[in-house]
A and B are shown apart, each in its own frame.
Chain A
Amino acid sequence: MTDPVAAPVLEVRDLHTYIATGAGVVRAVDGVSFTVGEREIVGLVGESGCGKSVTCRTIAGLMASPPARSTGSVRLASYGDRNLLDLSAADLQRLRGAHLSMVFQDPMSALNPMMRVGAQIEEAVGAHEKLSGRARRTRAIELMERVGIPVPERRMRDYPHQFSGGMRQRVLIAMAIAGRPKLLLADEPTTALDVLIQDQILSLLLELQRDFGMSMILVSHDLGVIGEMCDRVAVMYAGEIVELADTATLLEEPRHPYTISLLRSLPDVNSQSRYLRSIGGAPPALVDVPPGCRFAPRCPLALDQCREWETELLQAGAGAHTARCWRHEETRREDAWPEQSYESA
Chain B
Amino acid sequence: MSVVLGPSGTLLESLESRSRTSRLGRGRITLAVGILILGTMIVASLAAPLITSAKPDAIDPLHPLLHPLSPGHPLGTDSFGRDIFSRILYGGRIDLLIAFGATSVTAVVGTVIGLSSGYAGGWVDTVIMRIVDLFFAFPFFVLVIAIVAMLGPSVFNMFVAIWLTSWISYARISRGHTLGAKRQEYTLAARALGYTNRRVVLRHILPNVISYVIIFAMVDAVGNIVLGSSLGFLGLGAQPPSSEWGVMISDGQNYLLTAWWLSTFPGIAIILVGVGFSLIGDGLADILRPGD
Chain A interface residues (CB < 8 Å from chain B): 60, 62, 64, 66, 89, 93-98, 101-102, 104-106, 109-115, 123-124, 127-128, 150-151, 154, 159, 161-162, 172, 175-176, 178-179
Known: A104-B189, A110-B189. A127 touches B4 (CB 8 A): no
**What is the CB-to-nearest-CB distance from A163 to chain B, in angstroms, rounded to a whole number?**
12
Known: A114-B207, A114-B208, A159-B291. A96 touches B189 (CB 8 A): no
Partner of A60, one of B4, B121, B192, B207: B192
Partner of B185, one of A66, A110, A151: A110
Residues of A within 8 A of B195 (CB): 93, 97, 123, 127
- Contact of B186 with A110 in the complex, beta carbons under 8 Å: yes
* B204 interface residue (CB < 8 Å to A): yes
Residues of A within 8 A of B190 (CB): 112
CA distance A97 to B193 in the complex (A): 4
Chain B interface, >50% SS class: helix
CA distance A178 to B291 in the complex (A): 27
CA distance A110 to B199 in the complex (A): 16
Known: A62-B188, A111-B186. A176 touches B208 (CB 8 A): no
Chain A interface, >50% SS class: loop
**What is the CB-to-nearest-CB distance from B134 to chain A, in angstroms, rounded to a whole number?**
25
Known: A112-B208, A114-B208. A98 touches B189 (CB 8 A): no
**What is the CB-to-nearest-CB distance from A171 to chain B, in angstroms, rounded to a whole number?**
11
**What is the CB-to-nearest-CB distance from B192 to chain A, in angstroms, rounded to a whole number?**
4
CA distance A2 to B169 in the complex (A): 59
Q: Which residue of B lies closest to A102 (CB)?
A: B192
Partner of B193, one of A64, A115, A124, A159: A124
Residues of B within 8 A of A128 (CB): 194
Known: A60-B192, A154-B1. A112 touches B204 (CB 8 A): yes
- Sorted nearest first, the 3 A-B pairs with minimum C-beta distance are A97-B194, A96-B194, A102-B192
**What is the CB-to-nearest-CB distance from B220 to chain A, in angstroms, rounded to a whole number?**
22
Interface 1/0 per residue, B130-172 and A, CB below 8 Å: 0000000000000000000000000000000000000000000
| Given A89-B197, A104-B192, 7 more pairs with CB closer than 8 A | A62-B188, A97-B195, A105-B185, A109-B184, A112-B207, A127-B199, A162-B16
Residues of B within 8 A of A93 (CB): 191, 194-197
Candidate in B191, B193, B207 with the most chain A CB atoms within 10 angstroms: B193
Residues of A within 8 A of B4 (CB): 150-151, 154
- Contact of A112 with B186 in the complex, beta carbons under 8 Å: yes
**Category for how many chain B residues contact A:** 20 to 34
Known: A104-B185, A109-B184, A112-B208. A62 touches B192 (CB 8 A): yes
Residues of A within 8 A of B26 (CB): none
Known: A97-B193, A127-B194. A106 touches B185 (CB 8 A): yes
Q: Which residue of B lies closest to A96 (CB)?
A: B194
Q: Which residue of A lies closest to B4 (CB)?
A: A151
Candidate in B121, B194, B199 with the most chain A CB atoms within 10 angstroms: B194
Residues of B within 8 A of A178 (CB): 193
Q: Which residue of B lies closest to A175 (CB)?
A: B193
Residues of B within 8 A of A124 (CB): 193
CA distance A124 to B188 in the complex (A): 13
CA distance A192 to B197 in the complex (A): 28
Residues of A within 8 A of B203 (CB): 112, 115, 123
Residues of A within 8 A of B189 (CB): 102, 104, 110-111, 172, 175
**What is the CB-to-nearest-CB distance from B183 to chain A, in angstroms, rounded to a whole number?**
10
**What is the CB-to-nearest-CB distance from B21 to chain A, in angstroms, rounded to a whole number?**
14
CA distance A154 to B1 in the complex (A): 8
Interface 1/0 per residue, B260-280 and A, CB below 8 Å: 000000000000000000000
CA distance A111 to B185 in the complex (A): 7
> Could you give 27 example pairs across A and B, Cβ below 8 Å?
A62-B192, A64-B121, A89-B197, A93-B191, A96-B192, A97-B193, A98-B194, A104-B185, A104-B188, A104-B189, A106-B185, A109-B185, A109-B186, A111-B189, A112-B186, A112-B203, A112-B207, A113-B291, A114-B207, A114-B208, A115-B204, A123-B199, A124-B193, A150-B4, A161-B291, A176-B193, A179-B193
Q: Which residue of B lies closest to A128 (CB)?
A: B194
CA distance A150 to B186 in the complex (A): 23
CA distance A66 to B120 in the complex (A): 12
Interface 1/0 per residue, B9-20 and A, CB below 8 Å: 000000010000
Partner of A101, one of B188, B192, B197, B199: B192
Partner of A97, one of B16, B122, B184, B192: B192
Residues of B within 8 A of A96 (CB): 191-194
